[in-house]
A = this chain, B = another copy of it.
Amino acid sequence: MKRNAKVSTAVIRRLPRYYRHLFELQQKGVERISSSALGKSMGLTASQIRQDLFCFGGFGQQGYGYKVESLREEIGGILGVNQGHTVVVLGAGNLGCALIENFKFNANGFQLLSAFDVNPELVGTMISGIPVVHADQLEDYLRRTPVSVGLLAVPMSAAQGMADRLVRCGVSGIWNFTNYEISAPEHVVVESVHFSDSLLALSYMITQRERSGDET
Contacts and interface: CB of A to CB of B under 8 A. Distances in A.
> What range describes how many residues of A lie at the interface?
35 or more
A187 B211 CA distance: 13
Given A83-B207, A107-B196, A212-B5, A16 B201 contact: yes
A204 B80 contact: yes
A191 B200 CA distance: 10
A206 B173 contact: yes
B189 A205 contact: yes
A48 to B, nearest CB: 12
Contact of A200 (B24, B79, B209): B79
Contact of A206 (B80, B186, B214): B80
B110 A216 contact: no
Contacts of A114: none
Given A79-B207, A101-B94, A187-B215, A149 B195 contact: no
16 contacts: A12-B201, A15-B201, A16-B194, A17-B197, A20-B194, A80-B203, A81-B203, A94-B97, A94-B102, A95-B95, A95-B98, A95-B102, A108-B200, A172-B210, A175-B198, A187-B215
Task: Rank and list the top 9 A-B pairs by shortest CB-CB distance, nearest first.
Answer: A80-B207, A94-B98, A16-B200, A95-B98, A191-B202, A16-B197, A189-B205, A80-B203, A172-B206
Interface of A: 3, 5, 10, 12-13, 15-17, 19-20, 24, 78-81, 83, 85, 93-95, 97-99, 101-105, 107-110, 148-149, 172-173, 175, 179, 181, 186-187, 189, 191, 193-212, 214-216
